[in-house]
Structure formats: C-alpha cells, structure tokens
Amino acid sequence: MVEFLIDGFIFFLAGFVQGLTGFAFALLAVPLLSLFGSLKAAVGLMATVGAIIILYSCYLHRREVEVGKIFPLALVAVACIPLGAVFLIRAPERIATIALGAVVIALALGSMKVGEERLKALRPRWIGYLFSAVSGLLGGAFSAPGPIVVAYLNATESSPLKAKANTQLFFTFTSVGLFLTHLVGGTITLTVIGKALPLIPLSMAGTHLGVRLSKQLPTRVLRSLIDGGLILLGVYLIVSRLY
C-alpha cells in the first residue's frame, strides 16, 4: 500500500508538470521512482504510463494542435530512431548530452529575448526537419528525443499553448515507439503493466489539472514558465554529465 501511494504521488506530480509545461514527465518520474526501486523497473513503469499520458494530453490539446505541421516532422523523427540506434550508439553520450543541454538553453534564452517575434531564423521548413531528425537520432542512441524538439517548437511558435499542444502530438509518436522498444526488449512485462494500470488514473488526473491550469494562465506567464523550465532542463542535462 505504501509503495502504491509513493508511486501514485510521483506519477500524479509528473502528470501535472507534463500537463502544465508539455514536457518533463520522464525527467521527473524516472529519477524519483529509482529512489525506491530499480532503474529498470522505473523505466518500464514510466514508458507504460507515459504512453497513455501523452495520448491523453494530446487529446486535451486537440483544439490547439496542428496535425498538418507536426505529422511530417514526427515521421522524420521516427524514421531516424533506428539510425540513431545503429550509428550513434558508439558516440560519446557525455559530450552529446552536454551539447544538447547547451542548445536547449540557447533556444530558451533566444525565445525569451525575441518575445513575440520568435526566432525567425528557425522558421524555414527544412530546419524543422533537421531538428526532427536530430530528435530521432538522439532518441535511438540515448533515449532522449524530447528536449531538442520542445525547445525548437517553443522558440518558433508565438502561442505557448499551441507550441505545447504540438509537442504533445510529436511525443505521441515517439512515446509509442519507446513503449514498443521496451516491450520487445523485456523492460516492460505483464507484471509491469499490471503495476502500471492503477497508476494511470492518478497520472491522468495530474495531467488534466496541469492542462487546465496552463489554459487559464496569461500567455506571458505560461511562456515564462516554459522558457524557465527549458533552461532548468538544459542545466540539468549539462550538470548530470559533468559529475
């Protein structure tokens, strides 16, 4: 019972942050869960619950999401995931993660500086495909497809709510891919699925609350919250590989 309450609180919190900012579900869930169990079990639970939560979050943002814009970007990312697993698995993860953190911070700072004009230099379509390809490669090599795309979409979209909605659709594809990967790899088992099922409603409740709050916040406040969260994410990526 105590274990369920701890796991339930962690997934409620992770769902709330995901619903509020559009990212950080795994970033919160995996480290916290691993404090009370094995890392493998934490990853399996996160991938199982996370796949449902991203689908639910995407549904809650259905009126803001731009399917035509995100669908081709997501296809590029998914297509590059196997390439990342094959060609980048030997790349120095420490250097790649530090570089990723630096890019995320730079994009977030640029987003804060330019205000409503956004980063015009990143708006050409081919740049979006480039960021999506890098996302897929990082996902295949290091299971980290999210940060680069979150930062890119947030930096190029004038509406933080729409950027968050588009991120959820993008994550829908990658989360399903990661779920299948862990299922085939044995990280997700029937035992893990059985443990995850009662946790899903709690995480959905947190997600629902986070999304409702994000839609009530003023645009400037939500933008600052997301940019600030991205900077913290970038710092975490760098610091976690320096020590």
Helix, strand or coil, per DSSP, at residue 128: helix
Q: Do residues 155 and 23 lie in contact, with contact meaning Cβ atoms separated by under 8 Å?
A: no
Count CA atoms closer than 13 A to 8's CA, side-chain side: 11
86: pLDDT strictly greater than 70:
no
pLDDT at 8: 92
pLDDT at 195: 92
Question: pLDDT tens digit string along 4-43?
Answer: 899 999 999 999 989 998 888 887 888 888 888 887 788 8
Distance separating alpha carbons of residues 122 and 125, to the nearest angstrom: 8
Instruction: Report the range of poorest mean pLDDT among 80-94, 138-152, 155-169.
Output: 80-94
119: pLDDT strictly greater than 60:
no
In which band, very low, low, confident or very high, does the pLDDT at 121 lie, cut at 50, 70 and 90? low
Give the pair of three-digit tokens for residue 233: 């994410």
pLDDT at 114: 56
143: pLDDT strictly greater than 70:
no
User: Which residue in 21, 27, 54, 20 sits closest to 43, CA to CA?
Assistant: 27
204: pLDDT strictly greater than 80:
yes
Count CA atoms closer than 13 A to 14's CA, side-chain side: 30
Residue 181 neighbours by CB under 8 Å, 6+ apart? none
126: pLDDT strictly greater than 90:
no
